[in-house]
A and B are shown apart, each in its own frame.
Chain A
Amino acid sequence: MELNLNRVDYLQVGVTSQKTMRLLPATGRRAIQKVVIADHDGVVTCFGIKKGEAVPVFKTLPGQKVSRLELGGAIGTPQEKIFISVGSEVRGFTKKGKQFLSFETNFTEIIRAMYVSGADLFLCANYIYNHYCDCKDQDYYLSSDKINDIICLPVEKVGHIAPILACQDRVLRVLKGSDLSYEVEVSGAPKVLALHNGNGGDSGEDLLYGTSDGKLGLVQITKSSPLHRWEISNEKKRGGALCVDYHDVLGDGVKELLVGRDDGIVEIYGFDNNNEPVLRFEHTLSESITSIQGGCVGKEGYDEVLTATYTGWVMGLTTEPIQREAGPSDDLKINQEMQNKVMNIRVELEQLQMKVLQEREKYQQSAQSSGTVSAVPVFSVNDKFTLNHDDASYSLTVEVQTAIDNVLLQSDVPIDLLDVDKNSAVVSFSGCDAENGNFLLATYRCQANTTRLELKIRSIEGQHGTLQAYITPRLQPKTCQVHQYQIKPLSLHQRTHVIDPNRPMNTLTLTGQFSFAEIHSWVVFCLPEVPDKVPVGDSVTFYFQNTFLETQLECSYKKGEGTFKSDNISTISILKDILTKEATKRKINLNISYDVNEESINYTLNLIHPKLEHQLLLAKKVQLIDALKELQLYEGNVDFLIPEYRCILEEADSLLEEYKKQPAHLERLYGMITDLFIDKFKFKGTNVKTKVPLLLEILDNYDPKSLMAFFDSA
């Protein structure tokens, strides 16, 4: 059954954080639900819809930014108490807007995540988890990486309190009291957690997670071990999941899964006979979706999917038909509601224009006088800089509460900017002087009403520096905010849980007079996805995988000693250079020893081989396309061609597209092989830079055997 949903805009509030909008349970006979939403201005708004207009129930005074909003209540009663987390404080409101709770926690940081279950309150700051019961401290846990979300399995079903933390290091941590019960490894950094079916499924132990790289999965949290049920991979390269909910939108008696993503996509998944999810509906909004809920808001009897976006728009996707009446007249009749809306906005706009004009004149006058200072308007920017596993590139997304005018990118490392299909912005590259350390200057001019910009950046392993983005929104007076992003030396490495121990490994060992915190800060400097905070305990091991070549890296270190193992000698070489530099900066004497495994060179070359061969073949095929097409045009048919060429002609479009997508792929691979070659001999103490042209010649007539022979002999 296909699903038609129509978009309705209800109300705009301030900028919202993740999970800050909920629907109050319906009361009485009339089934229309009220919406409660909290924003960065600290205002909690509760409203209902009457005849298409938002009618406020209550609105609190502005204050600090609200980071979470949850509903709660005694177990077994309707969950209609509203809890918000503001700074390090939790406040509770009744559904009428009366404040009944103000609980100052002893957190030094602001609360990031919150979950309410009866009298139990679960709070998380960056790394700290705390459990309160009736506002009394119960349990405490310090996580080793940032906590993104928290949830607790339904107590009435599982019989004990089982909080689960979603942590940035791709792990769900299941706690028991103040201790870690066990860890569940997931394939991406989990961003949001929800109980399956809204109640944890039949056993109450089913947990749904959504990751920042857009995957969704269901895992059963039993007492002793996790049980993975299914995972939806993210083939279409959609944004990260920010919010999920369950609601029966199709009306078939089975609850569907609603997902809101950070690139504005709303998805509805149904469940087939095997309880596997199937995509049923999708809709694209232009801003990231921070909260999603299913329910009935606009008109009774019509279910809808209510979403709140980053900029504070509350929108519904309703099953109610919009165009109800039609007649013989050619132009569509605008209904009364719409006419009223247009009228109201017109009047409001006129008044505002007058007011702004007056104020602007006043401002101009006072700006002339000496001794006054022009204040800069503050606007919030929601940015995300993440590594994509599939194509070894970084994607930078910038979202502003108002429309963006332009974004200037400046980089002091050589990077490539790739095309993003979704982007409607116009790019212009300015010539820049690489000698002054300025490798890139690009301006993205956005078209009207773009609040979100997505960019793709390809970095080179080994070159590190900063990327700066100057963001100018369409605001008066025009101002600009600068955001900086670090491109780390080993920028293409991604954290994993396990590595293959049977590969030939090169080892780099460091010893010297350095503290645990110092070596940790060096590792943070070198590698992405490592928490800034020094890990608990006196030693730590991290595993990484190169997203481009799939080589591995194992870092284990403690006070005074560090061991780095990798099957790629270039990785070791980069680490050695950077670590020596860092240590010299702090005037620390390092003893560096390394153990090069000769086998590893051939192993890495074997890893590169299929990619290189694919690229070469692709380039060769693409070269032939034009000529073959011309032949096809002259001869009318291609039956005389050999099957190989016919095959190329058939796949011409997809080949061209792939070729266009990976323009620098071949050069990148050549670069990596050259680095590998130089690094191999560097560890032996010889400089082979003069032999590089010879190597390039061999690569041009690529043959794996002769390449390996060259590596061995030279």
Chain B
Amino acid sequence: MGLFDKLAGWLGLKKKEVHVLCLGLDNSGKTTIINCLKPSNAQVQDIVPTIGFSIENFKTSGLSFTVFDMSGQGRYRNLWEHYYKEGQAIIFVIDSSDKLRMVVAKEELDTLLNHPDIKHRRIPILFFANKMDLRDALSSVKVSQMLCLENIKDKAWHICASDAIKGEGLQEGVDWLQEMPL
């Protein structure tokens, strides 16, 4: 980093860059959430299931995010661990109306937390209990109970109920992420 970059960083002109991993089962709404966080002119209209992964960029008031939007389909989930090293924060998305696959989400979360690249790093995890607009959606508290989030002791975590189609609840989550030391 050159002198100019450092100066710009101190003055707040250049935003700090953060690498974030966006994980979760298929059809939980990861791509929709990322899409909704992007500026309105960069948003795409139709969202299709992600193949492999894609890299997205967006900026907030303090940070510049680079997000690895991973595919959640079963056959692509083994790709996740290749990017664990780069991740400085994790966004984990849960479909809160999908009670059946909540156990699958929990299993994936447990494998993630026990992975050697993740286990000993104090990286913040932001959970989105997505699709809260659906009538049979579980509340964020209920989701955190089903995923046993209270057992996560050595990492900062936060759960937000969100509706990615309208963009509700996303800002609160990103605000929390910004306050974390990254």
Contacts and interface: CB of A to CB of B under 8 A. Distances in A.
Interface of A: 1-4, 250-251, 301-302, 319, 321-328
B139 interface: yes
A250 B160 CA distance: 23
Q: Which of A250, A301, A327 has the most CB of B within 10 A?
A: A327
B161 interface: yes
Contacts of A326: 140-141, 144, 158-159
B142 to A, nearest CB: 9
A301 B159 contact: no
Contact of B135 (A319, A327, A328): A319
Interface string B153-173: 100111111010010010011
14 contacts: A1-B136, A3-B135, A321-B132, A321-B137, A321-B140, A321-B161, A322-B139, A324-B160, A325-B161, A325-B172, A326-B140, A327-B158, A328-B149, A328-B157
Interface of B: 132-133, 135-137, 139-141, 144, 149-150, 152-153, 156-161, 163, 166, 169, 172-173, 176
A328 B141 contact: no
A7 to B, nearest CB: 14
Given A324-B132, A327-B158, 13 more contacts: A1-B136, A3-B135, A4-B139, A301-B163, A321-B140, A321-B161, A323-B139, A323-B140, A323-B161, A325-B169, A326-B140, A327-B157, A327-B159
B125 to A, nearest CB: 10
A293 to B, nearest CB: 19
Nearest to B162: A324
A2 B159 contact: no
A327 B172 CA distance: 12
Contacts of A250: 135
Which 7 pairs from chain A and chain B are nearest by CB? A324-B161, A327-B158, A326-B159, A321-B139, A325-B160, A323-B141, A321-B161
Contacts of A325: 140, 158-161, 169, 172-173, 176
Nearest to A328: B157
B135 A324 contact: no
Contacts of A323: 139-141, 161
B136 A2 contact: yes
A302 B168 CA distance: 12
A327 B176 CA distance: 10
A319 B135 CA distance: 7
Contacts of A2: 136
A328 B152 contact: yes
B1 to A, nearest CB: 33
A324 B172 contact: yes
Nearest to A302: B133
Chain B facing A: main interface SS: mixed
Contacts of A251: 135
B133 to A, nearest CB: 6
Contact of A1 (B135, B139, B144): B135
A250 B161 CA distance: 20
Nearest to A1: B136
Contacts of B150: 328
Contacts of A319: 135
A251 B135 CA distance: 8
B172 A301 contact: no
Contacts of B176: 325
A270 to B, nearest CB: 12
A9 B157 CA distance: 31
A302 B163 CA distance: 11
Contacts of B141: 323, 326
A518 B141 CA distance: 69
Nearest to B127: A326
Contact of A324 (B153, B156, B157, B169): B169
Contacts of A1: 135-136
A4 B132 CA distance: 12
Q: Which of A1, A250, A302, A325 has the most CB of B within 10 A?
A: A325
Nearest to B166: A301
A301 to B, nearest CB: 6
Contacts of A4: 135, 139
A248 to B, nearest CB: 11
B9 to A, nearest CB: 29
Q: Which of B137, B141, B172 has the most CB of A within 10 A?
A: B141
A3 B134 CA distance: 10
A326 B153 CA distance: 15
A520 B159 CA distance: 71
A709 to B, nearest CB: 67
A258 to B, nearest CB: 15
Contacts of A327: 157-159
B118 to A, nearest CB: 17
A267 to B, nearest CB: 17
A323 B172 CA distance: 13
Contacts of B144: 326
A501 B149 CA distance: 73
A3 B158 CA distance: 26
A324 B140 contact: yes
A305 to B, nearest CB: 13
Contacts of A301: 133, 163, 166
Contacts of B153: 328
A417 B99 CA distance: 49
Nearest to B134: A251
A323 B140 CA distance: 7
Contacts of A3: 135
Q: Which of A319, A324, A326 has the most CB of B within 10 A?
A: A326
A328 to B, nearest CB: 6
A326 B139 CA distance: 10
Q: Which of B135, B136, B172 has the most CB of A within 10 A?
A: B135
A323 B152 CA distance: 20
A448 B176 CA distance: 41
A322 to B, nearest CB: 8
Contacts of A302: 133
Contacts of B156: 328
Contacts of B135: 1, 3-4, 250-251, 319
Nearest to A326: B159
A326 B94 CA distance: 14
Nearest to B153: A328
Contacts of B158: 325-327
Nearest to A325: B160
B20 to A, nearest CB: 18
Contacts of B160: 324-325
Nearest to A324: B161
A328 B136 CA distance: 25
A250 B153 CA distance: 38
Nearest to A322: B139
Nearest to A5: B135
Nearest to B169: A324
A251 B136 CA distance: 11
Contacts of B136: 1-2
A327 B135 CA distance: 24
A552 to B, nearest CB: 50
Nearest to B157: A328
A327 B139 CA distance: 14
A302 B166 CA distance: 12
A322 B156 CA distance: 23
Contacts of B149: 328
A109 to B, nearest CB: 46
